[in-house]
Structure formats: C-alpha cells, structure tokens
Structure 1
Amino acid sequence: MRTITLRRSLVALFAAAISFGAITQAQAASQDKSVLRIGYQKYGTLVLLKAKGSLEKRLAEQGVEVKWTEFPGGPQLLEGLNVGSIDFGVTGETPPVFAQAAGADLLYVAHEPPAPTSEAILVPKDSPLKSVAELKGKKVALNKGSNVHYLLVRALEDAGLKYSDVQPVYLPPADARAAFERGSVDAWVIWDPFQAAAEQQLQARTLRDGTGLVDNHQFYLATKPYAQKNPEVISALIEEIRAVGEDSKADPDKVTEQVAPLLGLSKEITSIAVKRQGYGAQFITPDVIVAQQKIADTFTDLKLIPKKLSIADVIWTPPAKVAQAAQ
C-alpha cells in the first residue's frame, strides 16, 4: 500500500496536468514562433543567458519575443511545460523521467556536461551522522521527482541501504531549508545554489555529493509541438546557451559578479555554485540516452513510476546542418 501511494504521489505532480491534455495540445499547436516562453530555475546557464540578453537580440531579428518564468524546481517547471505555459526549460536528470511517465509531451533537446559536486546530501554542522549508512530510519528532506531524488537512491544503494530504509520528507527548497534549520529533518538532499548557501550560511556538512554516483546532467527540454514546428528557434537557443557557457568557463569571476545580485546571494556563495556547474551544452548523444535510461529503469524497479519508459523515443533531432556544425 505504501509503495502504491508513494508512486501515485510522485507521478501525480505531473499527472494532474494531463487531464488538460487536449487543451494543452491545442495551445501548443497554436503556439507559433512569434513568442518563445522559457522556464528557468534559480541556478544554471539559463540564468546567465537571461542576464546577458543576447538571446532576445538574436531572436528579435527572426521576429521572436522571449518571455521568462522562474520555477522553484524541475518538477514544477515541467508541469508548466506540460500544461502549455512554457515552451522550453531546464531541469536535472530525474524530473523528465517522472514527467514522461505521467504522459507529458516533451522532448530532450540538449544537455550540459556532468556536474556531480553541485548536488549533495547535507547534514547540520553538529549532526552526529558521519556516513550515508547512518541515515537508516532518519528523516531526509528532498524535492520529490528532482535530480537529488536519484542521488539519494544511488547513495543509499552504495551504502547498502534501500530507499525504504529512510523516511523521505518531500519539500521544495525553501521549505526544506526551514525544516533543516529547525532540526525537524536529519538530512537534506539539495542542489546549487541552495547547497552552496547552506554550506556557507549554516555551515552544513556534506555527507555525500554526487561524485562516483551520478552525472547530474542538466537537460534542456521543449514541448514536442514547439520543437518540431520551430527547429530554427531551438537551434539558435542552444547556440546561445553554449556561448554563455563558454564565457562562464573562461571568466567565472565575471559571471559571479553578474549573477550574485540576481540570485540574492553573496559573491562568495555564488562563486562556489558557478564553479561547480557544468558548461558546454550539446545535443543529446547515445551515451547520455543510456545513462538517462538507467535512471528511468531505476525508478521503475522501485515502483516509483508505473511503467518502463523509452528515453530514446523522446529525443529531439536537430536539423542536419545544425547537428554537423555542433560537432
């Protein structure tokens, strides 16, 4: 009963939107290239792209207006994508799996290089816990269906524990931090910049980050109708994301100066998050599909999604000339 309830609660985050499927399809089908609606989170290259303003200038030449919407996490962003409020967005590895399981009409467009240190299992500075194995029976806060969900599963497996050996407490980042500070949870699985902020402001200790466990790719996703109808817009968008990533690798201090006020965080905290991030967006490759399929199969085996998925079925294929130029 617990497994069925848990599975339903996870998939329900996206499935509630599926009842509007016919409306969503109509909205997406009528959406032309005059507007590109982008969903972003408080981290990552899209924040940098928004601040730079280069995308707006480039797409204006094609008659395309860019609109931005911020989301607290990947699951919420993909729910927005599913109901037709955005056309494109970025999330970690796990949210697209749950969204696909719930029937979202999405396509993987591109990915960033691995960034395993930009997510971690944190414990309070005075916590007696010294290893993941000691989490058995403990309360662990996380954003359900997010990238850190898979990190927790893998970390527990590596420590000889099952997912059912801990008490997951599903909370979005702001609420999870409050619970972490109150001491009402024993650990918190979180990503940057929330991770860096907790480390610096609360002196939270890292019990385990993603090193040796997960790739922690960031994925760029689009609604299937928009990507298929507007390949030139999507291609230009990925080119701009890649260019911002190259700038970031070349001068992380400049990026920190630019982004810190946008995040409302100190330069010290922002710098940590910026330097741990992966940069260099690329279209989806076969090895990335294999890795993402492993994540999907893991959640299927845990009965957290109801059926086996095929990641290869939801990969966007860029125009031939664009794919060749990216190689």
Structure 2
Amino acid sequence: MIKRLSPKTAIAALTLSVMGFAFPAAAETVTFAWSPNPQTPQVDVALAKGYFKQAGLDVNIVSFPSGREGFEALIGNQVDFSFMAEFPAVTGALRGQTFGVVADLARYEGTRIIGSAKFKELKSPADLAGLKIGTTLGTNVDYYLSHVLTTAGVKAEIINAAPSDLIPSLVRGDVEAAVTFPTFYEMGKKTLGDNYRELRVGGYQPHFIIAASQATLDKKPATIQAFLGALAKAEADVKADPDAAMDAVLANLKGATNKDALKAMWADTQFRMILNKDLLDLMVSQGNWIITKGVVKADAPTATSMRPYLVDGPLKAIDPARVNLP
C-alpha cells in the first residue's frame, strides 16, 4: 500500500549483508518522492511484493504534483530519493545544486507531436511550418519541439500552456498542434477521435530517473544500494511477467488509464535500470539549450562538468554491467 506521509525520516543502523552488499539491519524509514505513473513499473512491483521491506527499508511515498517539485524537496533534503524525468536534474546541475542521479529506470521512445485533421495533416516536420503549436515552456517537451523545428529548419508560433490545457486548446482551435507529456496522449486520441493525427520524430527520449539527496549520498550509501537492489529484483519480475506488472501499475493509477493504453505506451518504453553515456550526452545537450533559452544563467555545460551528477557507485555495486559511463 502506498503511504503518503510527511517527508521526515528516522535513521537506523546499517549492518545486514544481502546479495553481496550492505543492507540496513532493521527497517529503516526512507522517503521517496514518487507519484503513480505508467513509466516506472519497477517501483509498483517492488511496493506490491514487499521487496523494499525485504531489503530492510520502510519506504514512505510522498506525492508531488510534478517531478520538478519532488526534486525541489530532494534539494532541501526533505526526501531521500526522488523520481523525475531528466530535465529538472539538468536544471539543478546548471545551478550547482547538490544531489546525484543514481539510476535511469526507463527510456521512452514514443515522443510525438499531436495534431488535428481539421488544421493540417502531419506527415513530416516540414508540415509544422507556420502552425500555432502549444507546449509547456521550460520543460523537456519544449526541448523536444525546439529540437524538431531546428533540425527540420522550419519556424512555428509557439504558445505556452499547462499540460492539462494542451489537448483542450487543440480541440478548441487555440493551437493547431500540441507537444505534451505521454500521459496525455490517450486523452488526445479519445478527444479528437477521427481527427487525431500524430507525428513521431526521433532525436529525443525522455529518461525517467531516480536521484538521491546529498545527505543520503553522504551518510547512507548502503541504503541507496538496498533501494536499488529492491528495484532490480522488481525489474526481473516486470520482464518475466509484464501482464502482472501492468496490473500492479494500474492498481496504483486507480483508473487514470486502461490496460490497452498502458500496453501501447510500454511498447515504446525500455525498462532497464542503467546509467549510460546517452543520459550524460542528453544532459549536456539539454543544459546548453536551457542556457540558450535564458532559463538559467550559467557556463555552458560539458560532459566533464555534468559527469559528477551521475553517481554510479551504488548501481555498480549491484551489477557493473548496468553502468557504461566515461
């Protein structure tokens, strides 16, 4: 059962050794900023099967409206771990905030631009020229849209809107295309019906990551290994029985989506907990884009400046094959 509690923790001694690395001897309470979502079945399965408790952890879930807000709680050492897409972490790194990305749980390959046949057929990025395109500025979908337009060499009118307003804006005709988060794709299909159109352009995969607070990195390395070890165990179950994993996710989503929509999303998602160079490269690319947009004033990031924010020691301790970083 998911518990939504205040992000204050009680720390216990760390002594137990399991799977070749140290786990807490008694149940240690840790806080995790995470909200039910379709992209992290490892968490749902670990909670449902008690893998965190088997690892000696009492995980208290603290829900936030967005990954950005969960990340802010992490920076303030109010939570031990936080789930998010990579974008808030890149912004935090540019600002010199202290934290560490300890795992990349999943990568989504189905990012798309949604349109309506009432306005224009979307067959290639060239069809975006001159359109009013809605997105949420200062987010990873804004980064994706910018990448698509720049690569195609076309210009469009970009209109800022909250994620929940983008599909309604498209239906009303306030915008002629929309770039929103994957959780709103199904809404687009249902609402637009026969007029629904989509354009999939490669070049960007959202990474769904786990970050640890600096206090957790400094004081509780065994706790991080225990936490990731439970997720690795759950991941094996997701691979062995994806249907049961979907049921665990749907139970936590409480009707927010259905199994068919979840299957479609998972067809475009890679579920494997890793830390690889592609994430580092993306953080550098996004960091430079963020600076260009004036969102953060900082020196241009490089692989050397971003690399310390990927803390690979705990994941290497579980399985060295999961890490491929310079």
The answer for the alignment partner of 1:275 in structure 2 is 267
CA distance in 2, matches of 1:155, 1:78: 27
| In the alignment, structure 1 residue 88 sits paired with structure 2 residue 78 | no
Measured against aligned partners, the alpha-carbon deviations of 1:99-147 in whole angstroms (never above 9, x if no partner) come to: 3234432211111354221x22212353314243343454433344433
Counting aligned pairs with the same residue, the percent is 22
The answer for the alignment partner of 2:281 in structure 1 is 290
Instruction: Give the direction of change, closer, same or farther, for the CA distance of 1:102–1:141 in structure 2 (3 Å limit).
Output: farther
Q: Which has the higher helix share?
A: 1
1:44-55 correspondence runs (5 A): 44-45=39-40, 47-49=43-45, 51-55=47-51
CA distance in 2, matches of 1:102, 1:236: 29
Secondary structure at 1:246's aligned position in 2?
Answer: helix
CA distance in 1, matches of 2:233, 2:106: 14
- For residue 124 of structure 1, the aligned residue among 81, 93, 116 is 116
Secondary structure at 1:43's aligned position in 2?
Answer: coil
CA distance in 2, matches of 1:50, 1:144: 34
Measured against aligned partners, the alpha-carbon deviations of 1:287-318 in whole angstroms (never above 9, x if no partner) come to: 53233222212332343331123211322142
The answer for the alignment partner of 2:227 in structure 1 is 237
Secondary structure at 2:180's aligned position in 1?
Answer: strand
Instruction: Give the direction of change, closer, same or farther, for the CA distance of 1:190–1:226 in structure 2 (3 Å limit).
Output: same
Instruction: Give the direction of change, closer, same or farther, for the CA distance of 1:50–1:322 in structure 2 (3 Å limit).
Output: closer
Max Rg structure: 2
The Cα RMSD (Å) is: 3.0
Letter in 2 for 1:58: Q
Instruction: Give the direction of change, closer, same or farther, for the CA distance of 1:161–1:168 in structure 2 (3 Å limit).
Output: same
Letter in 2 for 1:56: F
User: Residue 98 of structure 1 contacts residue 145 of structure 1 at CA under 8 Å; is this kept in 2?
Assistant: no
Question: How much does 1:47 deviate?
Answer: 5.0
Question: How much does 1:225 deviate?
Answer: 1.7
Instruction: Give the direction of change, closer, same or farther, for the CA distance of 1:73–1:183 in structure 2 (3 Å limit).
Output: farther
The answer for the alignment partner of 1:99 in structure 2 is 92
- For residue 77 of structure 1, the aligned residue among 70, 74, 84 is 70
User: Residue 200 of structure 1 contacts residue 269 of structure 1 at CA under 8 Å; is this kept in 2?
Assistant: no
The answer for the alignment partner of 2:290 in structure 1 is 299
User: Residue 252 of structure 1 contacts residue 274 of structure 1 at CA under 8 Å; is this kept in 2?
Assistant: no
User: Residue 139 of structure 1 contacts residue 169 of structure 1 at CA under 8 Å; is this kept in 2?
Assistant: no
- For residue 197 of structure 2, the aligned residue among 197, 200, 205 is 205
User: Residue 64 of structure 2 contacts residue 70 of structure 2 at CA under 8 Å; is this kept in 1?
Assistant: yes
User: Residue 252 of structure 1 contacts residue 275 of structure 1 at CA under 8 Å; is this kept in 2?
Assistant: no
1:238-253 correspondence runs (5 A): 238-253=228-243
The answer for the alignment partner of 2:31 in structure 1 is 37
- For residue 189 of structure 1, the aligned residue among 174, 179, 185 is 179
1:167-178 correspondence runs (5 A): 167-171=158-162, 173-178=163-168
Secondary structure at 1:316's aligned position in 2?
Answer: coil
Question: How much does 1:270 deviate?
Answer: 1.9
User: Residue 110 of structure 1 contacts residue 220 of structure 1 at CA under 8 Å; is this kept in 2?
Assistant: yes
User: Residue 108 of structure 2 contacts residue 270 of structure 2 at CA under 8 Å; is this kept in 1?
Assistant: yes
Letter in 1 for 2:181: W
Report the count of equivalent residues: 290
CA distance in 2, matches of 1:278, 1:39: 22
The answer for the alignment partner of 2:310 in structure 1 is 315
Instruction: Give the direction of change, closer, same or farther, for the CA distance of 1:325–1:122 in structure 2 (3 Å limit).
Output: closer
Secondary structure at 2:86's aligned position in 1?
Answer: coil
Secondary structure at 2:79's aligned position in 1?
Answer: coil
User: Residue 139 of structure 1 contacts residue 166 of structure 1 at CA under 8 Å; is this kept in 2?
Assistant: yes
Letter in 2 for 1:259: V
CA distance in 1, matches of 2:236, 2:188: 28
Instruction: Give the direction of change, closer, same or farther, for the CA distance of 1:239–1:47 in structure 2 (3 Å limit).
Output: closer
User: Residue 46 of structure 2 contacts residue 230 of structure 2 at CA under 8 Å; is this kept in 1?
Assistant: no
User: Residue 113 of structure 2 contacts residue 179 of structure 2 at CA under 8 Å; is this kept in 1?
Assistant: yes
Letter in 2 for 1:36: V
User: Residue 115 of structure 2 contacts residue 176 of structure 2 at CA under 8 Å; is this kept in 1?
Assistant: yes
CA distance in 1, matches of 2:89, 2:190: 30
CA distance in 2, matches of 1:205, 1:183: 14
Instruction: Give the direction of change, closer, same or farther, for the CA distance of 1:53–1:176 in structure 2 (3 Å limit).
Output: farther
- For residue 217 of structure 2, the aligned residue among 224, 227, 231 is 227
1:52-63 correspondence runs (5 A): 52-59=48-55, 61=56
CA distance in 1, matches of 2:166, 2:69: 15
User: Residue 94 of structure 1 contacts residue 150 of structure 1 at CA under 8 Å; is this kept in 2?
Assistant: no
User: Residue 292 of structure 1 contacts residue 311 of structure 1 at CA under 8 Å; is this kept in 2?
Assistant: yes
Q: What is the TM-score of this pair, normalised by structure 1? A: 0.76
User: Residue 196 of structure 1 contacts residue 273 of structure 1 at CA under 8 Å; is this kept in 2?
Assistant: no
The answer for the alignment partner of 1:161 in structure 2 is 154
Instruction: Give the direction of change, closer, same or farther, for the CA distance of 1:303–1:152 in structure 2 (3 Å limit).
Output: same
